[in-house]
Structures are given as C-alpha cells and as structure tokens.
Structure 1
Amino acid sequence: MKNCLLGGTFLLLLLLQFSCKSTYELGRKRAHWISDNRLYNQIVDSSLSYNTLWIKRFSAHYESNEKTQNVKGSIKILRDSIIMVQLNAPTGILEVARIYITPDSVKIIDRLKKEYLASDFFFLSEKLNMDVDFYTLQSILTNSIFQLRELYEKQRPFIRNFKGKAIDDKYVFISDKASKVERKLRKDKYEKLYKFNYQRFEIDPSLMKITDVLVRLFGEERDMVLKYRDFINLEGQKFPSELVFKVKDSVQSLSCKLKYNKLVLDQEIKFPFKVSSKFKRIYPQ
C-alpha cells in the first residue's frame, strides 16, 4: 500500500509538472551576432501565419487618468481586412459593445446606451493617443514587427530604418537615429531631442519573437511601451498570451493589460455588425 501511494504521488507530481508547463521560457539562449537582414527575415518568418485569428476569450485591465476598468470579450481578425472586438459585461456573458475596424473606418455599437458611432480610422488613433493605422494595430495585436508612420518623413523598408544588435540574451532593433538619441540622453541634453524619435524592439533569441517595444516621440513628450509575455504553443506556432500596452505623454496616460484565452487559427468565422434602427447615431467630439 505504501509503495502504491508513493507511486501514485510521484505520478501526480509528474502530471502536474507537465500540465503546468504551458508557456515557453524567455532568455534561455544567448544572442550571437547575425546580419540585420537575417535577423529581420527570421523575425518575419517566425511571425504568426494566419488568415483568420479568433481570440474566443480575453480579459483586460484598463487604466487611464479618469478611470480603471476590467472588461472581458473576444477578438476576431481577418488578416488585412477586419478587426472586430466584442466587449462583455463583467460577468462575461452579456455583450455591451461591439467595435468593427477596417483599414479606413471604425464603427462602434454601445448596446447599453443604444447608440452607435461611425468614423474614420483617425478617431481610433486619437483614442489610443498614438498615430497608428489599421496594419500597425493588427501587428500590435498579433506580435508582428512594424514601424510607425510618424517616425519617418519618407517611408522606407524596415531594414533601412533600423539597425540590429546582439546584447547578451536578446536581439535588439533600434531606429537609425538611435545612436544620436542615446548620446544626448547620456549627456542630459533633453532640450535637443525635440526633433528626434526613437523606436526599439527586443527579440528573444530562443523563440525569435518580439518581447518588448519602446517608442519615444520626444517632440510630443510621448512614450509607447508594448510587452509580450507568456508565449504558448498555438497550433504549432509560438504566440504570446499576454499583451501589455501603455501610452503616456505630458497630459494623460493609459495602459491596458490583455490576457488571451482559447485562440483558434484559420477557422471560418463571421463578422456580423448590424445596427438596430432604434439606436441613435452619435459623432466624434
């Protein structure tokens, strides 16, 4: 009996050990020098391959100057075409709002107030306090590499705007004027940074996935931080199940921590968006 109990306990511990190890560990491999082109191509090759992505459940903790809120919901993405977010009541059952985003428009239904809004994408970038377009937002949600339009006067390929480095346990891509920015930061010459912008990606060598993004717009005193954590196996691909998004400037700040649950790739999904005739249309202020 004693041996049976010991054996059962050992088996239970093994099951617990393997069932709890659901995420990949970061920093398990040192970064060795590779060319910028090779680093960029490896990041692109390891990015999520999908036509549709369905995050069946997410939970989010949102904070801004005015309020703190916890929400639940789901996200559907049809690559390069539609992002639809459904927001539920705290119980997670009743839908209270639906957001339908395309490359040139944003539509929102508020079921509680019986109102709806239809506007261009600029409305959303204002709410996020960052000049992002549809494709940048899609990249942020799916852990893909991107470059912000407002950082560069001329749109060039990513590899011409960024320089790669190997720093201990991570690869880093830094925007091309970053060396000038870092020299001025070391000398505390903040007043001369107004015309500079700065974007930095940190990449884990063992996963070849982006883990951290920092954007600084010195002229506007604005920072954006992205953190990707808890990478899981999503149908044979590595994907973060946690995303932290923060934007801060001299006037306001906002942050949102998203936890993804029950993700499905390339399933045929629908994107219904129908506004009741009883709902009142409102306009951006």
Structure 2
Amino acid sequence: MKNKLHSKIYLGAMVLIMAFIQFSCKTTYDLGVIKAKPMSDAKLYRNLIDSSLHYNTLFVKKFSANYTVDGVKKSFKGAIKIQKDSLIWISITAPVGGLEVARLMISQDSVKMIDRMKKKYFIDDYDFFRKKLNVDLNFKSLQAILTNSVFQATNGEKEKSFIRSFNGRIIDNMYVFTSEKSRKVDRKLRKDKLKRLSRFGYQRVDIDPSLMRITDVLVKDFVDLRDVSVKYRDFKMYEDRKFPQRLSFEVIDPKHLLSCSVKFNKIAFDDKLKFSFKISSKYERIYP
C-alpha cells in the first residue's frame, strides 16, 4: 500500500515537472485561442494601442531574410537599430562570412545607403522606395511595419484620426479594422467597376484577440493597381514585451512581384545605441 502511494506521488510529481518544463520552454504564443467579443471601435483601438510595443530604442541584433523580385531570389542577414520617431539604421551582411555589404540610415526626411562592395553611396528622399520597391512609404509607416504597430495608408488623402478613418468589426474570430469606405469598395469590386475605385483607398488591419496585436495588414492602391500585404507570426516574449519573430511582406502590381520574409533574433529594448554612419571620402556618390 505504501509503495503504491509513493508511486502515485512520484507519477504526480513527474506530471507536474513535465508540465512546468513544457510551459517554461514555450517560445511562441498561439493565435486565436480567445474568442473575439464585440466592443466599440474606440475601446478596440485603445486596447490595441495599450498592448502595442512601447519602447525608446529597439535593437534587432540579428535577422535573416529571403528576398524575391520577379522570380530572382536573394538572401542576406543583418541588424536593425531604431530610435523611436527619429532614426532607423540597418546593416546588411552577406549570408556567409558576415561581411557587411551595405548600410542604411533612414530619418524623417531622407534615405541614405552605403554600398561597401561597389564603394558607392547615395542620399535620397522617400521616392527611393517607390522607384526601387514600387511602394509608397514614409518614416512613420516604415517604423510601424518594423515594430508591429498600426499605421494609416492615406493614398494621398489628408490623414484623419484613426477612429474617424476606420471601422471595427469581427471577421472569422479576428478583430478587423477596415478603412471607412471599404463597404463601397467591396461592392464596386463585386460589380467589377474598377475605374470608379481610383478615388478610394482601402486598408484592412487584422488583430488577434488573444494578444491584441496586429497579425495582418492589407493595402490596396487602385490608382497603380497595387496590393501590399504585411504578415506577423510567431509572437514571442522578449524581455517583457511580445514581439513577432517573423515578418513578411508582399507587393503585387501588374508588372512586378516582390516578397520578403524576415526572421528576427536577439532583440533588445531601450539600450543606449550608437547609429554610426560614416561615408568614406573615397566612395563615389550616385543618384538612384
């Protein structure tokens, strides 16, 4: 009888230990484990902002990326530093050997890049992203994409407050914000009235009710017939903040297909960072 009791205690202890190990080793959070419940747009937006990433600096010490443009695939590694609302610094290294091949410094009004391999550099404005990536970006939207934060794609229109520009609803157990005229857009799409869509912008933001974090963003540009999608997956706790390990985006238009997937590793917040960006006098300036 005593041996049976000891055996039950031993088995119970083992079950508790194994459960603790499984919980402790859990690296990512599952999406969709909590059912979305109706709430006002103002409360949904407030909850989203409250649970979003709060930081002064962000340091992605290591990332790896796969990049495809019109069927041509490339891979690279690197690091990212962000001083909130001020600077984005990106170092790109070769996939093998760790040699830096390029460095970018992005501010509120300029994009600068050093090409180590060709010993050249350029200084441009945000038209660079339209010319090279065929996508409209500014500092605010780029920072938001990199930090899993909400942003507005205004499509040239005067930006209004988020609550005035978007409507909240529940779709497939996800909280979803859609741009205010999205129902008109949907009706015209169903009736194939594409020519009447040029004055509309369309944006959809999906929010997981379990984490109250953005998982998907879709932007449609009906002037240039361009779709831009951003996806966040594999959320993990870094220090005391939830952040996705994987970011992917895709740009599709009638002429091009661009996609990029990024895996983040070794992330730190609020460290004191240096944003070194020294251009050698031997480098040639180019005008992209």
TM above 0.5, one fold?
A: yes
1:54 to 59, 66, 86: 59
1:29 to 34, 42, 52: 34
Query: Structure 1 pair 16/102, CA: closer, same or farther in 2 (3 Å)?
Result: same
Q: Which runs of 4+ in 1 moved over 4 A?
A: 9-16
The equivalent residue for 2:157 is 153
2:192 to 163, 188, 192: 188
The equivalent residue for 1:171 is 175
The equivalent residue for 1:131 is 136
1:164 deviates by 0.3
Please say which structure displays the higher CA radius of gyration.
2
Query: Structure 1 pair 158/92, CA: closer, same or farther in 2 (3 Å)?
Result: farther
The equivalent residue for 1:44 is 49
CA RMSD of aligned residues (A): 2.1
Gaps of 5+ in 2: 1-6
SS of corresponding position for 1:149: coil
- Residue-pair matches, total: 279
The equivalent residue for 2:210 is 206
1:80 to 64, 76, 85: 85
Counterpart residue identity of residue 287, structure 2: Y
1:120 deviates by 1.6
2:240 to 236, 248, 251: 236
User: How far apart, CA to CA, are the structure 2 residues paired with 1:56 and 1:165?
Assistant: 37
User: How far apart, CA to CA, are the structure 1 residues paired with 2:21 and 2:227?
Assistant: 41
The equivalent residue for 1:89 is 94
User: How far apart, CA to CA, are the structure 2 residues paired with 1:147 and 1:199?
Assistant: 8
The equivalent residue for 2:4 is none
User: How far apart, CA to CA, are the structure 2 residues paired with 1:13 and 1:71?
Assistant: 38
Query: Structure 1 pair 251/77, CA: closer, same or farther in 2 (3 Å)?
Result: same
SS of corresponding position for 1:240: strand
Q: Residues 83-118 of structure 1: CA distance to partner in whole angstroms, max 9, x if unpaired? A: 010000112521111011001111111111111111
**Alignment of 1:248 onto 2:246:** no
Counterpart residue identity of residue 166, structure 2: F
SS of corresponding position for 1:192: helix
Query: Structure 1 pair 134/92, CA: closer, same or farther in 2 (3 Å)?
Result: farther
The equivalent residue for 1:69 is 74
Gaps of 5+ in 1: none
1:67 deviates by 2.1
